[in-house]
Every structure is written in structure tokens, then in C-alpha cells.
Amino acid sequence: MGSCRQIAQQLVAPGKGVLAADESIATMSSRLEKAGVEATPENRRRYRELLATTPGLADSASGIIFADETLRQTFADGSPFARAVHSLGVLPGIKVDTGAKPCPGLPGETVTEGLDGLSARLAEYAEIGAAFAKWRAVHVITDALPSAGALRSNANALARYAAACQEAGIVPIVEPEVLMDGAHPIDRCAEVTAAAHAAVREELALLGVDLAGIVLKPNMVIEGRDHAGTTSPERVAEATVEVLRAWPDELAGVAFLSGGQPPERATANLEAMQHHRTPWPLTFSFGRALVDPALAAWHGDPALVGAGQAALAERVAANAAAVRRSHTEFVAGTPTAVGV
Ligand code: 13P
């Protein structure tokens, strides 16, 4: 448990966030194809190596989340991903859920699977070198959904996953995502996000999960993608922090997903969060908001690896700069940086 607390602290260390590069084979393949890159294991490997070897990444990223396929691959020089990333100063993580699947009994909703055999898989991932893990539950917003059954089922699975991780000495990133799909206003997202978090807190408590040894990965509280108008960063931050206040002080930290927001908007919202004094750090664990520009710049061309890395470095540095502010003027109350 002690080491989980330490690793969780490292993941949310001042001025750092987590890079989510753990797209499933299917999702990664379709993103590569859209960028004009053939979807082969080798191209997925090349892309992940490009991300992981971005110069200076360790200054702004505490960890990288990979999918199972990547963790079993090697850099071009033959060193296994987990070991290679670790030696670059970044903690390797692993997505251990097997995806959101239609939930029997709940039409239109999903439950995230992957609990069968999880303890054995975690032991193997620990052996390979994974320091932390991720499990993502997904909720849609409609007038009637999510149902209480979907909230409860996903929260229970997240808690069982988190307890298994801590037993294996791996830090669980607990991700109850409420999707941006739909035309709902921000208040509806706040209501659903609060309900999802309440269910997760209850289930984590029932299984004795140590909150100081987990990182919460929530969506920002934000209007639906099809809602008219764009909520200001200040309002997104206020609504998000208000929902998060229900979490106890001992929670190690909060690392947001980007959820399909344009990269610059995700950064502006993250920066606005830092104006709020909270007992836990508020940082990023973005996927698309970090890697989309890199994939677009590289698009499979070996001559453009540097351009892809520059695009990633720019986004990671912008988000790290945003969260660094919390340790300077906003929280510490002084322009002298703490731990950065
Ligand atoms: P996005 O930031 O693209 O939402 O991805 C984060 C993630 O890890 C989703 O599980």
C-alpha cells in the first residue's frame, strides 16, 4: 500500500500529468488509417515509440498509459517498452479493462469488462514493469440515462479493479467517464458526473480501497458537444471543482481526460481549474488533446518523426505550464514555485 501511495504522488507530481497512449488495437488502427497510415502492429509500435521518445517528455509527463499490445513490444533498439520508458524517467502504465460492452438488461448502456483473471494479469504486468493501471467506465447522457443500474454496475467494476490493483502493488487510475455526446447543458453533466462519482466512492469504500493510493480520472463538467454555445473555462472549472468537492482530502489526485475537446480548450479549462484551492492536485491525463496533433504532424512519414514529437511536446508543455500555476501564484500564494 505504501508504494501505491508513493507512485500515486509521483503521477500527480507538481507540474506534471499523464499521457494516455493506450488506445485499443481497434481504436488505434482506425486513427492511423484516418491519418493515412496502414494499421499494422509495427506502425502502432512506431507511433508509440515516437510519443515515448519525445525529447524532454519527462519534464512534463509523469507517466504514459499503454495498451497490452504495446507493453509487449520493444523499441526499435530491442528494449521492452516498459523498461525503456522507465529509463527515460517516465512511469509506464497499462490499460487493463477489456472495453465497454453492452450491459445485459440495460438497453443503450455499457458496462466495462475485464475482471475475469484480472489478478493474474496484474501480476504479469507488474513483472513486465507496469507501475500503474487504468480502467475506464463510460456513461452516456440522455433524458433518461444513465440508469442507476449502469452507474452501480460500472462503479462496482471500477472498485473491484482498484482493489485488485492495490493488492498487486499497482496504482489504479479510476476513470468514470461521462461522455460529451449530446446536446445537454452543463448542469445536466454536473448532475450525472456527481451521481457517477457518488456510486464510485461508495463502492471503493465497500472494498476498502485506499484513496491515497489511487488517481481519479474524471471528465470535466462541460456542456454536450451539440449544445448551443461554448461554456467559458471559468464556468467549466467552477462546475467541475464543485462536483469534485465531494471527494475526501486523502485522494491522491485528479487527472482529467480530455473527452474529445479541442486541445487548446482542454488546456484553457485545465488552467482555469488551478484558480480553485483544492486538497488534491488537478492535472491532466489527456489522450486525444495531446496525441492528435502529433499523429497529424507525423502521419507515418519517417522523415516527420521530429515534427510529430514537436507537436506532442508543445501540447504536453502547455498543459504542464497550466498545472504548474497551481504550485505558484494560486495555491502557494507566492510566485515561488514549489517542487518545480
Ligand atoms: P481522451 O483524453 O482522448 O478523452 O482520452 C483519455 C483516456 O484515457 C480515455 O480513456
pLDDT of residue 331: 52
20 lines ligand 1 (CB under 6 A): yes
Distance (Å) from CA 202 to ligand 1 centroid: 24
54 lines ligand 1 (CB under 6 A): no
Residues 54, 314 contacting (CB under 8 angstroms): no
Distance (Å) from CA 285 to ligand 1 centroid: 7
Per-residue pLDDT of 213-240, as tens digits, reads 999 999 999 999 999 999 999 999 999 9
Instruction: Look at ligand 1, atom 8, and give the residue with the nearest C-alpha.
Output: 20
The active-site residue, picked from 217, 223, 238, 271, is: 217
333 confidence band (pLDDT: 50, 70, 90):
low
Active site residue 34: no
The active-site residue, picked from 23, 49, 175, 177, is: 175
CB atoms within 10 A of CB 191: 15
Report CA-CA distances (Å) from 271 to 15, 48, 293. 12, 27, 20
Distance (Å) from CA 163 to ligand 1 centroid: 22
136 lines ligand 1 (CB under 6 A): yes
Residues 178, 141 contacting (CB under 8 angstroms): yes
Q: Which domains does the chain have, with CATH numbers?
A: 2-338 (3.20.20.70)
Per-residue pLDDT of 129-153, as tens digits, reads 999 999 999 999 999 999 999 999 9
Instruction: Look at ligand 1, atom 1, and give the residue with the nearest C-alpha.
Output: 287
Please give the model's pTM, rounded to 2 decimal places.
Answer: 0.96
176 lines ligand 1 (CB under 6 A): no
pLDDT of residue 330: 54
218 lines ligand 1 (CB under 6 A): no
Is 50 exceeded by the pLDDT of residue 284?
yes
**Beta-carbon contacts of residue 9 (< 8 Å; ≥ 6 apart):** 252, 253
| CA nearest neighbour of 241 among 287, 272, 286 | 272
